[in-house]
Amino acid sequence: MGRIAGPLDDVAGDAGHIGHPPRMGFFTDTSVCIGCKACEVACKEWNAIPEDGLTFTGMSYDNTQGLGADTWRHVAFIEQRKPLGLQDPGVEHGSYDAYDGVDVLGMASEAAARGGDGDRGELRWLMASDVCKHCTHAACLDVCPTGSLFRTEYGTVVVQEDICNGCGYCVPACPYGVIDQREDDGRVWKCTMCYDRISDGREPACAKACPTDSIQYGPLDELRERAAARVEQLHDAGVDDARLYGDDPGDGVGGDGAFFLLLDEPEAYGLPPDPVVTTRDLPSMWRHAGVAALTLLGGMAAAYAAGRRR
């Protein structure tokens, strides 16, 4: 039995794998996501995931709504009013302003109407491709009573669909709201980090399809280094909002196998700000339950003792 909380260097080894490959993961850099949803589509295609409703939500360009049994990659769209700096076209024109006369969707005039000191770009459009975090301490895996969920040699978390009996326990256990039950099927489904592809030395379908390298796949150690450098780069460029999410092995889930670079608070993206694996508290839960059971025995004994006197 592995550790249930805290930093853990060798997840796969902790789960009993010997001579395993390095832990693989995703670094999703949302700052370069263009919201094309290629990842969503590639995932659906590769994994033959059924259609799950064609709805119009009014939530910006997001009609997928969230991760679920039939959505293993989900691109979030967030529209914000936020005074931004200008994009640099990378060309010097002297006194000539390349932005003059540009009126895309009335944004420029709107910016002008809002006053400002010539700053344009009042609208900020955040896009982020969400996915299962393949937690170091995965609550879904911990609570699964059948052993259907398991830790692979790559340190990822995968459901064995031939074993899952659809008890649904993993669903409310996941602190990120990732895994869900497919209604007509009864079993639960989520991202496998393309177990079939990575076992064959290929990168996951979503990462492969991503045209901007917003989704980067690789050994987790390497990704963490790359992410740290990227945040620094953004901070140097004046993007002070840039932060990493899920990269810290000291966090409540022991760090995510799939972590992110965000440009706003996690809540804005529908992510929990400080998730903790529920099983961290399990020893204490069992202790409390034990004391409660003894209290029940004691109370009943007292009822009999009192009953005799009457």
Site residues for ligand SF4 per CB under 6 A: 42-43, 46-47, 72-73, 131-135, 138-140, 144, 146, 148-149, 157, 159, 164-170, 174, 176, 178-179, 188, 190-194, 204-206
DSSP 234-299: HHHTT-TT-EEES--TTSTTS-BSEEEEESS-GGGGT--SS---GGGGHHHHHHHHHHHHHHHHHH
The partner in contact with residue 80, picked from another protein, ligand SF4, none with C-beta cut-offs of 5 to 8 angstroms by kind, is: none
Q: Please, which residues bridge with residue 79 across strands?
A: 125
Query: Which of the choices ligand SF4, another protein, none does residue 241 contact, using the CB cut-off of 5 to 8 A by kind?
Result: another protein
Q: Which of 14, 52, 110, 185 binds another protein (CB under 8 A)?
A: 185
Residue closer to another protein (CB basis): 103 or 287: 287
**116, interface contact from ligand SF4, another protein, none, CB < 5-8 Å by kind:** none
Q: Which residues contact 283 (CB under 8 A, 6 or more apart)?
A: 4
Binding mask 42-81 for another protein (x = CB under 8 A): ---------------x-x--x--xx-x-------x-x---
Pick 47 or 148: Cβ nearer another protein: 148
Listed residue (176, 138, 172) closest to 158, CA to CA = 138
User: What spatial distance separates the first Cα and last Cα of the chain, rounded to whole Å?
Assistant: 52
State the Cα angle at 103 between 97 and 106, rounded to 5°: 140
Least distance between another protein and beta carbon 257 (Å):
13
180 touches 170 (CB < 8 A) = no
**Residue 211 and residue 33 in contact, taking contact as beta carbons nearer than 8 Å:** no
When asked if residue 210 is in the footprint of another protein (CB under 8 A), the reply is yes
Q: Which stretch binds another protein (CB under 8 A): 9-17, 40-48, 96-104, 165-173?
A: 165-173
If binding is defined by CB under 8 A, does position 206 make contact with another protein? no
Q: Number of residues in contact with another protein, rule: CB under 8 A?
A: 121
Q: Which of 174, 141, 135 is nearest to 8 (CA)?
A: 135
Residue 73 site contact among ligand SF4, another protein, none (CB < 5 to 8 Å, cut-off depends on kind): ligand SF4
In this chain, which stretch among 8-16, 94-102, 105-113, 217-225 interacts with another protein, using CB under 8 A? 217-225
| Min separation Cβ 198 and ligand SF4, Å | 8
Write down the least CB distance from residue 272 to ligand SF4, Å.
10
Could you give the CA distance from residue 189 to residue 100 in angstroms, rounded to a whole number?
50
β-pair type (180-181, 258-262): unpaired
Cβ(135)–Cβ(277) below 8 Å: yes
CB–CB of 133/191 below 8 Å? no
Cβ 112 to another protein shortest distance, Å: 19
Residues 269-288 that bind another protein (CB under 8 A): 269-276, 278-279, 281-282, 284-286, 288
Q: Is 83 in the site for another protein (CB under 8 A)?
A: yes
Helix (H, G, I), strand (E, B) or coil at 80: strand
The pattern of x and - marking residues 107 through 146 that bind another protein according to CB under 8 A reads --------------x--x--------------x--xxxxx
Distance CA 224, CA 215 (A): 13
